Amino acid sequence: MTEKTKNLICSVAFLAIGTLIYFEATQIKVIMAKDLGSGFFPKVVGITMILMALLELILTLVMGSKNGQATEEGDNDKKGMLLTVACMLGYAALFDTLGFILSSTIYLFLQITVLSNDKNRKLPLFAIISVLTSIAVYGIFVYLIGMPLPTGILDF
């Protein structure tokens, strides 16, 4: 992705967010006398965001030719990031249902495996670390600090 494309995405996204904030703010009514109302400040934020995004857009289009080179992204492992995000989403989805210990054990094992490489991949060690860490964190938070965590299907 070139620097120009990044700046264009940035300005368009903020233009959209600023517009949304402004229009939502116009729906808010003033209910107290002598007060600006709860819609005033969001309107200021929305308008400023729109103006800044437009400025960024204009500068990007004007300076476009200088910033047209693609940035170095050749070494980035997009598959690694997608797998990491998938592990996190699965963890959050199963956190309440399976409970803290089971979901954390599964997440830790999968996430450590995803982040490891062929040289340092030791699955039995990863499994032991996953189980012990989950039990230790559960013990510290539930029994030592007294913060409840979901028990899920294990029910203890």
Partner 1 sequence: MIMQALVNVCNPTCLALISLGVVVGIIFGSIPGLSATMAVVLFLPLSFGLEPTNGISLLIGLYMGGISGGLISAILLKIPGTPSSIATVLDGGPMAEKGEAGKALGAGILYSAIGSLLSIVALIFISPYLAALTLKFTPVEYFAIAVFSLSIIASLSGNSLIKGLLAGLLGISFALIGLAPIDGLSRFTFGSTDLMSGFNIIVLLVGIFAVTDIMMAGLGRKHLDDAYGKKAYHLKGFGITLVEFKDQIVNMIRSSIIGIVVGILPGIGGNVAGLLSYTAAKNSSKYPEKFGTGIVDGVIASETSNNAVIGGSLIPLLTMGIPGNTVAAVLLGGLTIHGINPGPLIFQKSGVYVYGIFFALIVATLAMLVFERGALPIFVKLLDVPKHILLPIVMVCCVVGAYSSSSRMFDVWCILGFGALGVVMKMLKIPSTPLIIGFILGGMTEENLRRALQASEGSISVFFTRPISLAFLVAGFLCVAYVLKNKYKNHGENTLGEKE
User: How is residue 22 written in tokens?
Assistant: 């402004």
Determine the Cα–Cα distance for residues 123 and 134; give it in Å rounded to an integer.
Answer: 17
- x/- map, 34-53, partner 1, by CB under 8 A: xxxxxxxxx--x--xx--xx
- Give yes or no for residue 70 binding partner 1 (CB under 8 A): no
Of 61, 68, 70, 120, the residue at the interface with partner 1 (CB under 8 A) is: 120
List, in order, residues 6 or more apart from 131 with CB less than 8 Å away: 105
Residue 39 class from Cβ within 10 Å (0-12 exposed, 13-18 middle, 19+ buried)?
middle
- Give yes or no for residue 104 binding partner 1 (CB under 8 A): yes
Which H or E run includes 147? none
Side-chain-facing half-sphere of 112: CA atoms under 13 Å: 19
- Give yes or no for residue 135 binding partner 1 (CB under 8 A): no
Interface residues with partner 1 (CB under 8 A) are 1, 6-7, 9-10, 14, 17-18, 21, 24-25, 28, 31-32, 34-42, 45, 48-49, 52-53, 55-56, 59, 75-78, 80-85, 88-89, 91-92, 95-96, 100, 104, 107-108, 111-112, 114-117, 120, 126, 129, 133-134, 137, 141, 145-150
